[in-house]
Amino acid sequence: MVAPFKEVPVQKKSPGPIDRHIGERLRLRRISLGMSQEKLGEALGLTFQQIQKYEKGANRIGASRLLAAAQVLGVGIEFFFDGLPDLEAPAGSGERIVNAFLLIPESERLVRGFMRLPDGEARRRVADLVDWLASGR
C-alpha cells in the first residue's frame, strides 16, 4: 500500500537583509554617478521600476545581473557587499549616516541640486541652512 501524499508548505524566497543591503549599495553608487534609475535600467535591459525594486530590497538581484550592474557602475562586485551588517561600521560612522541619507526619497533631489551649485560659497551656505534647520531654530 502506498502512503498518502503529504503536502509540504512551500516557502517563498523573499529578500532578506543582505538583499536590502545590496540594493542600498546599488542606489548609493548610481546616485554618486548622477545616473537615473531609467539610465541604469536601460543599460541593464530593465525598467526603472525593476531598478526601484532592487534598490528597495523588494526583489533579489541575481548574480549575473549584479555582475552586469557592477560593470555599468564601474565598481568591482565586492562593492555591493562592503559594510554588510555583521561587518557594520559603528553607529556614528560617516559611511552609515551617508547610506541612511541616501535611502530618504528626497536625498537624490537634494544631492543633484547641491552638485549644480556654482561655487563653494553657495554650498557652504546651503550646508549652514541645513544645520540651522536641523537645530530646531
Give a yes or no: residue 3 inside a domain. Answer: no
82 and 133 both lie in a single domain: no
Tell how far CA 69 is from the center of its chain: 12
Q: What is the pLDDT of residue 105?
A: 75
Give a yes or no: residue 12 inside a domain. Answer: no
25 and 79 both lie in a single domain: yes
Domain enclosing residue 54, as ranges = 17-89
Q: What is the pLDDT of residue 85?
A: 63
pTM above 0.85, yes or no: no
61 and 109 both lie in a single domain: no
77 and 135 both lie in a single domain: no
44 and 72 both lie in a single domain: yes
Total domain count, the chain: 2
Give a yes or no: residue 78 inside a domain. Answer: yes
Q: What is the pLDDT of residue 83?
A: 81
61 and 69 Cβ atoms separated by less than 8 Å: yes
22 and 85 both lie in a single domain: yes
74 and 109 both lie in a single domain: no
24 and 66 both lie in a single domain: yes
| Nearest alpha carbon to residue 61 among 93, 15, 128, 17 | 15
21 and 84 both lie in a single domain: yes
Give a yes or no: residue 96 inside a domain. Answer: no
Instruction: Return the half-sphere exposure (C-beta side, CA atoms, 13 A cut-off) of residue 19.
Output: 16
117 three-state secondary structure:
coil
82 and 32 both lie in a single domain: yes
Per-residue pLDDT of the chain (137 residues; tens, 9 = 90+): 555 555 545 445 677 888 999 999 999 999 999 999 999 999 999 999 999 999 999 999 999 999 999 999 999 998 998 888 665 555 556 777 777 777 777 888 888 888 889 898 999 999 899 888 988 86
Q: What is the pLDDT of residue 8?
A: 47
58 and 121 both lie in a single domain: no
22 and 73 both lie in a single domain: yes
Give a yes or no: residue 2 inside a domain. Answer: no
Length of the chain: 137
